[in-house]
């Protein structure tokens, strides 16, 4: 249980688990069942064997899942899981629900009785499992997930405990089932048929940490790729007996587990596993949010390590072999001569043939080029700069500025009518962007050895200055810039050891928006303001540069308005401005050196005019002659800059 997020998967409620269960159960027109031995207990429910009263000794047993009406899952009436069983129950690999209803204080679901979970099997077999068994599980589990997904749902909690075999010593004992649908969500809107929209809520985690996808850790909307990533971790766990991110404890466990997942390359994760497992991990971690997984291709990866004769495989792999098409009588006769055919649930199952028909393509071969590897385990630290289209204006960059040189640059800028628009820090040296387009009327700044000097900030607030830019250095010192002439009405800031998503959420509800961010080591400072001129705001927080998320947001009209990064994580705040700018162009750039030396920036800068570069001072003056202004295709100026973790 320690691996559940306490907010989402509650410990069994005392009241719920101790309230007496009825001796006999009859719900929703079911026969009467006597409650027999306990099969298991989860965060929400308790499961018992049900024996039909009056039936002979050979009568089929059922599983009875009880959820107390006061359990968190039943806040709004019957458990949410019931709805999902309505849609999925009886789909290949999902147990059938026969009856459901309320009896006394309990909601009861009468379902197929199943056997041990894959975790039980692994545990009872000295915590090991054969390669062939795991490969069969892979094949069957992928096909079960394909069926679940084809009905519009994502399971959301794929793990060894949630895969059950059929009851031992029955014809179903080699069948695999997926249970616990309480965290299932829709990936496709039922009425429109469209993929649900992308979102990220960094403070929301649902699922089980050990097996959760990196996207689930980061609070992204669940989609088909997440089930497959959790399945990949499930398979590696069953093979290796351990995952590299086990053993973290404490409050920041989720952060540490996610960081380790990001830092573990598929090669490292699968170094003791046969090649197909590595290929599977590589494929699933590279899936896009709304990409349709190629289930058949994934299944075919494992063909080579399972017995070609499905009858002697340790797990039934029926799901992967069902061929849902209608064949003509002639074709049927022809096939009868060659193969065994079995009718099942209206499908013709082609035994033996199908495994060979499916090509054994690796992911690389079919795509023509190797997949881009996003999880290499090698952190890169870079400058991240954001450029907005603006009317032509003066903008100066100063970088590698030591504390003692700061005032010299700022004073010179102020003399020329420029104010600081952004600040950043790298290796305890400051970077300053000064320009003529801030709209400020006055500005003060403070360099202090602590990460945001509260006393000074409060003093300036009283004089109607508001924080307009902030940066922190690795040594913990900070540079805070406060300006007059902003549109802010009220301001609040927070310094914390991890990214303060919850606080930001609370402030959003009060009408504040993030207007500046900084980091010092692994600490974060977030500044939020009322009257920020935004109508909506979201956060992308990742261990890499979250290009996919940023593109989804851009398409919905969001633009990056603040950036900050530690050595591990990069945060991007994206906002919808109340007043749309004439030109919404925005570009981002990641460079290992300060961006003025980067070729792309050169192309903006050189064609824009002349500049004087004085390397020993790190000072660049960009001079903009009028006749060039009309020729600029993109008037792009740095709007935000930070230094930290980007890609690996």
Binding-site residue set for ATP: 65
- Are 39 and 47 a contacting pair, CB within 8 Å? yes
Does position 43 interact with ligand ATP (CB under 6 A)? The reply is yes
DSSP-H helix ranges across 3-117 = 14-18, 80-88
Instruction: Identify the residue among 140, 161, 542, 548 touching ligand ATP (CB under 6 A).
Output: 161
- Are 185 and 151 a contacting pair, CB within 8 Å? no
**Residues 46-75 interacting with ligand ATP (rule: CB under 6 A):** 47, 63, 65
Min separation Cβ 206 and ligand ATP, Å: 11
Binding residues: 65
Q: Residue 63 or 429: which CB sits closer to ligand ATP? A: 63
Q: Contact region for ligand ATP (CB under 6 A) — 43-51, 268-276, 458-466, 558-566? A: 43-51
Does position 31 interact with ligand ATP (CB under 6 A)? The reply is no
Does position 180 interact with ligand ATP (CB under 6 A)? The reply is yes
Closest CA to 307 of 119, 130, 127, 126: 130
Min separation Cβ 598 and ligand ATP, Å: 50
Min separation Cβ 162 and ligand ATP, Å: 6
Instruction: Identify the residue among 50, 89, 166, 182 touching ligand ATP (CB under 6 A).
Output: 182
Q: Residue 324: is it exposed, middle or buried by C-beta count within 10 angstroms (0-12/13-18/19+)?
A: exposed
Q: Residue 79 or 293: which CB sits closer to ligand ATP? A: 79
- In the three-class reduction of DSSP (H, G, I as helix; E, B as strand; rest coil), residue 369 is classed as coil
Query: How far is residue 107's CA from residue 183's CA, in Å, rounded to a whole number?
Result: 18
- Are 354 and 333 a contacting pair, CB within 8 Å? no
Q: Contact region for ligand ATP (CB under 6 A) — 143-151, 175-183, 396-404, 502-510? A: 175-183
Q: At what angle do helices 275-285 and 131-150 cross, to 10 degrees?
A: 30
Min separation Cβ 578 and ligand ATP, Å: 43
Min separation Cβ 234 and ligand ATP, Å: 14
Show the tokens assigned to 342: 């079995």
Query: How far is residue 516's CA from residue 194's CA, in Å, rounded to a whole number?
Result: 35
Query: How far is residue 228's CA from residue 145's CA, in Å, rounded to a whole number?
Result: 8
Question: Nearest to ligand ATP by Cβ — which residue?
Answer: 42
Min separation Cβ 41 and ligand ATP, Å: 6
Closest CA to 229 of 216, 218, 219: 216
Cα–Cα distance list, 273 to 208, 236, 359 (Å) = 23, 8, 22
What stretches of 436-505 adopt beta strand conformation (E)? 442-448, 466-472, 478-484, 490-496
Does position 440 interact with ligand ATP (CB under 6 A)? The reply is no
Q: Residue 45 or 618: which CB sits closer to ligand ATP? A: 45
Cα–Cα distance list, 432 to 61, 356, 370, 599, 618 (Å) = 73, 63, 40, 20, 11
Query: With DSSP H G I counted as helix, E B as strand and the rest as coil, what are the percentages for the chain, rounded to 5?
Result: 30, 30, 40
Min separation Cβ 248 and ligand ATP, Å: 21
Instruction: Identify the residue among 10, 31, 40, 244 touching ligand ATP (CB under 6 A).
Output: 40
Write the binding mask 557 to 596 for ligand ATP: x where contact by CB under 6 A, - elsewhere.
----------------------------------------
Tell me the HSE value of 302 on the side-chain side, using a 13 A CA sphere.
29
Closest CA to 620 of 434, 454, 436: 434
Cα–Cα distance list, 602 to 407, 432, 594, 636 (Å) = 27, 18, 12, 12
Q: At what angle do helices 275-285 and 224-240 cross, to 10 degrees?
A: 150
Q: Residue 90 or 417: which CB sits closer to ligand ATP? A: 90
**Residues 7-26 interacting with ligand ATP (rule: CB under 6 A):** 9
Q: Contact region for ligand ATP (CB under 6 A) — 178-186, 223-231, 244-252, 630-638? A: 178-186
Cα–Cα distance list, 417 to 95, 208, 247, 392, 434 (Å) = 72, 55, 56, 15, 10
Q: Residue 47 or 258: which CB sits closer to ligand ATP? A: 47
Q: Residue 157 or 540: which CB sits closer to ligand ATP? A: 157
**Residues 328-347 interacting with ligand ATP (rule: CB under 6 A):** none
Q: Residue 157 or 548: which CB sits closer to ligand ATP? A: 157
Min separation Cβ 120 and ligand ATP, Å: 7
Q: Contact region for ligand ATP (CB under 6 A) — 179-187, 196-204, 333-341, 462-470? A: 179-187
Q: Residue 158 or 570: which CB sits closer to ligand ATP? A: 158
Min separation Cβ 426 and ligand ATP, Å: 46
Show the tokens assigned to 343: 């009718």
Q: Residue 597: is it exposed, middle or buried by C-beta count within 10 angstroms (0-12/13-18/19+)?
A: middle
Q: Residue 36 or 365: which CB sits closer to ligand ATP? A: 36
Min separation Cβ 250 and ligand ATP, Å: 22
- The residues, ordered by sequence, that sit 6+ positions from 427 with a Cβ below 8 Å of its Cβ are 474
Q: Contact region for ligand ATP (CB under 6 A) — 36-44, 209-217, 279-287, 519-527? A: 36-44
Closest CA to 575 of 333, 374, 386: 386
How many residues touch ligand ATP (CB under 6 A)?
A: 22
Query: How far is residue 428's CA from residue 403's CA, in Å, rounded to a whole number?
Result: 9
Q: Residue 167 or 293: which CB sits closer to ligand ATP? A: 167
Q: Residue 157 or 229: which CB sits closer to ligand ATP? A: 157
Does position 385 interact with ligand ATP (CB under 6 A)? The reply is no
411 is catalytic: no
Instruction: Identify the residue among 42, 89, 293, 413 touching ligand ATP (CB under 6 A).
Output: 42
Angle subtended at Cα 255 by Cα 250 and Cα 258, rounded to the nearest 5 degrees: 125
Query: How far is residue 378's CA from residue 262's CA, in Å, rounded to a whole number?
Result: 9
Instruction: Identify the residue among 13, 25, 27, 44 touching ligand ATP (CB under 6 A).
Output: 44
**Residues 79-138 interacting with ligand ATP (rule: CB under 6 A):** 95, 111-114, 117
- In the three-class reduction of DSSP (H, G, I as helix; E, B as strand; rest coil), residue 520 is classed as strand
DSSP secondary structure letters along 386-402: EEEE-SS--EEEEEEE-
Cα–Cα distance list, 191 to 80, 188, 196, 248, 523 (Å) = 20, 9, 11, 42, 44
Annotated catalytic residue, options 2, 5, 36, 157:
157
Does position 179 interact with ligand ATP (CB under 6 A)? The reply is yes
Min separation Cβ 458 and ligand ATP, Å: 47
| Residues at the site binding ligand ATP, with contacts judged by CB under 6 A | 9, 39-45, 47, 63, 65, 95, 111-114, 117, 161, 164, 179-180, 182
Residues known to be catalytic: 157
């Amino acid at each position: 249980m320690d691996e559940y997020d306490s907010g989402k998967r509650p410990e069994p409620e005392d009241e719920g688990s101790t309230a007496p269960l009825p001796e006999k159960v009859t719900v929703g027109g079911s026969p009467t069942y006597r409650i027999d031995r306990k099969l298991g207990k989860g965060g929400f429910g308790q499961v018992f064997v049900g024996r039909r009263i009056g039936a002979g000794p050979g009568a089929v047993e059922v599983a009875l899942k009880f959820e107390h009406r006061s359990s968190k899952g039943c806040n709004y009436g019957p458990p949410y899981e019931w709805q999902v069983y309505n849609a999925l129950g009886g789909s290949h690999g999902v147990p059938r629900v026969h009856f459901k209803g309320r009896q006394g204080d309990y909601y009861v679901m009468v379902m197929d009785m199943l056997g041990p979970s894959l975790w039980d099997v692994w545990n009872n077999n000295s915590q090991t499992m054969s390669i062939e068994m795991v490969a069969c599980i892979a094949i069957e589990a992928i096909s079960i997930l394909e069926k679940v997904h084809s009905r519009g749902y994502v399971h959301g909690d794929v793990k060894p405990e949630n895969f059950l075999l059929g009851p031992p010593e029955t014809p179903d004992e080699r069948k695999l089932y997926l249970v616990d649908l309480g965290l299932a969500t829709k990936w496709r809107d039922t009425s429109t048929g469209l993929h649900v929209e992308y979102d990220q809520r960094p403070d929301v985690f649902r699922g089980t940490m050990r097996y959760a996808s990196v996207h689930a850790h980061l609070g992204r909307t669940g989609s088909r790729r997440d089930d497959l990533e959790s399945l990949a971790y499930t398979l590696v766990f069953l093979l290796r007996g351990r995952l590299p991110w086990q053993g973290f404890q404490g409050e920041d466990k989720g952060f540490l587990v996610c960081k380790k997942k990001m830092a573990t390359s598929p090669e490292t994760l699968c170094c003791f596993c046969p090649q197909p497992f590595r290929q599977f991990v590589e494929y699933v971690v590279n899936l896009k949010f709304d990409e349709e997984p190629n289930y058949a291709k994934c299944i075919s990866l494992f063909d080579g390590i399972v017995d070609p004769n499905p009858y002697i495989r340790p797990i039934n792999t029926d799901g992967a072999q069902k061929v849902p098409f209608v064949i003509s009588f002639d074709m049927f006769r022809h096939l009868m001569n060659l193969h065994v055919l079995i009718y099942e649930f209206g499908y013709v199952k082609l035994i033996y043939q199908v495994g060979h028909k499916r090509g054994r393509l690796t992911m690389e071969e079919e795509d023509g080029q190797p997949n881009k590897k996003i999880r290499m385990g090698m952190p890169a630290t870079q400058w991240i700069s954001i450029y907005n289209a603006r009317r032509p204006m003066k903008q100066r960059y100063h970088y590698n500025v030591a504390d003692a040189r700061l005032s010299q640059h700022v004073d010179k800028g102020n003399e020329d009518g420029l104010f600081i628009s952004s600040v950043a820090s790298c290796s305890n040296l400051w970077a300053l962007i000064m320009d003529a387009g801030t709209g400020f009327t006055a500005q003060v700044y403070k360099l202090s050895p602590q990460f945001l000097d509260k006393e000074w900030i409060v003093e300036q607030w009283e004089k109607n200055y508001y924080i307009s830019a902030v940066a922190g250095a690795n040594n913990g010192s900070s540079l805070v810039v406060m300006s007059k002439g902003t549109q802010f009405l009220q301001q609040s800031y927070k310094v914390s050891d991890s990214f303060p998503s919850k606080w930001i959420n609370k402030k959003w509800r009060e009408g504040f928006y993030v207007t500046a961010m900084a980091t010092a080591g692994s600490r974060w400072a977030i500044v939020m303001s009322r009257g920020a001129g935004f109508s909506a705001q979201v956060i992308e927080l990742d261990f890499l540069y979250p290009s996919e998320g940023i593109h989804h947001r851009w398409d919905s009209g969001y633009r990056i308005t603040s950036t900050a990064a530690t050595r591990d994580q990069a945060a991007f705040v994206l906002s919808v401005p109340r007043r749309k700018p004439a030109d919404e162009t925005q570009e981002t750039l990641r460079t290992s050196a300060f961006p003025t030396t980067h070729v792309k920036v050169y192309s903006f800068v050189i064609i824009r005019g002349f500049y004087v570069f004085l390397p020993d001072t790190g000072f660049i003056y960009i001079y903009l002659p009028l006749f060039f202004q009309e020729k600029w295709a993109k008037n792009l100026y740095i709007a935000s800059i930070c230094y930290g973790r980007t890609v690996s």
